[in-house]
Amino acid sequence: MPRIALARRATTLVTATALALLCAGAQAGTASTMPSRDAHTHASPSNSPTAAAPHGVRGLAVRLVSQTLAAAPGTPAKPRPVVDPVLDPLMNGILERLAISEAVARTKYASGKPVQDTPREQALLDNVGERATQFGLTSAQARTFFRLQIEAGKLVQTALLARWAREGRAPGEPVDLASRLRPALDRLGTSLLHDLGRLCALPDDPSRMARIHQARERIAKAAKLEALQRAAFDEATSGLCLSAPPRVWTLSMAN
């Protein structure tokens, strides 16, 4: 799928950087500020990802992800070195989705909407289940994978909303959920289905499991994930090619 491949090359460059920046700012809270070199950046329209993103290292991460996902599929970009051509795109796509989850949390903090959105979740699971065979997957494999992506994203959202409730505010301005964030998640979802299909086409043997483990550890280390992001990343990658979740997730780290 040429458009997917081009889009992936454009996004791979920023994923680890974006998540590292998100995690570096996690302990700084609302006190983070952009480096002085950004002081002269011109204002963008209020609904653009750049204008709506927060200040600080988290804001830079969200802008990187949002701008890259919104870019044309053919946008030239120098890709990062790929160690595993099958696992790296999938793992990086999962990290991208977790990065967007913070922007979703910010929007829900501003609107007062709950983290749980059962109709939206069910619609997503039904959609990927119906499309699964296009990517060489079973409906159960696709639904299990995206169920875990949803739960990992809710872990991030719940923890951040609890943090911001204690602090009395969320950093930055919200990005519109319906017109900006959900379309970005939908586009990323197609890429994730494609990349998951490539992985699940490999023989189901110990060597595949070893590759998954090695890629997970290597990419998590490169992204320098903090505790919350690492827990979410581990959850999101725990059911690759499985027909049912390996365990029930609880939001024990929400606070």
pLDDT at residue 79, rounded to an integer: 55
- Contact residues for 81 (Cβ-Cβ < 8 A; gap 6+): none
Report, as an integer, the average pLDDT of 191-212: 97
Structure token digits, residue 234: 């581990």
CB-based burial label for 211 (10 Å; 0-12, 13-18, 19+): middle
State how far the Cα of 212 lies from the Cα of 239, in Å rounded to an integer.
11
CB 7 within 8 A of CB 73: yes
pLDDT at residue 159, rounded to an integer: 97
Q: Is the CA virtual torsion 83, 87, 89, 95 positive or negative?
A: negative
Helix-, strand-, coil-residue percentages of the chain, each rounded to 5: 65, 0, 35
Per-residue model confidence as pLDDT tens digits over 117-170? 999 999 999 999 999 999 999 999 999 999 999 999 999 999 999 999 999 999
Domains and CATH numbers, the chain: 86-239 (1.20.59.10)
> Helix 2-24 vs helix 56-70: angle between axes, to the nearest 10 degrees?
180
206 pLDDT band (50/70/90 cuts)?
very high
% the chain with pLDDT above 90: 62
Average pLDDT, rounded, for the chain: 76
Radius of gyration of the chain (CA): 17
pLDDT at residue 229 above 70? yes
Buried/exposed 37-58: b ≥16 CB within 10 Å, e otherwise: eeeeeeeeeeebbbebbbbbbb
State how far the Cα of 52 lies from the Cα of 70, in Å rounded to an integer.
14
247 pLDDT band (50/70/90 cuts)?
low
pLDDT at residue 42 above 60? no
Q: Return the amino acid letter for 132.
A: A
* pTM of the shown model: 0.70
CB-based burial label for 81 (10 Å; 0-12, 13-18, 19+): exposed
pLDDT at residue 236, rounded to an integer: 97
Per-residue model confidence as pLDDT tens digits over 97-109? 999 999 999 999 9
172 pLDDT band (50/70/90 cuts)?
confident
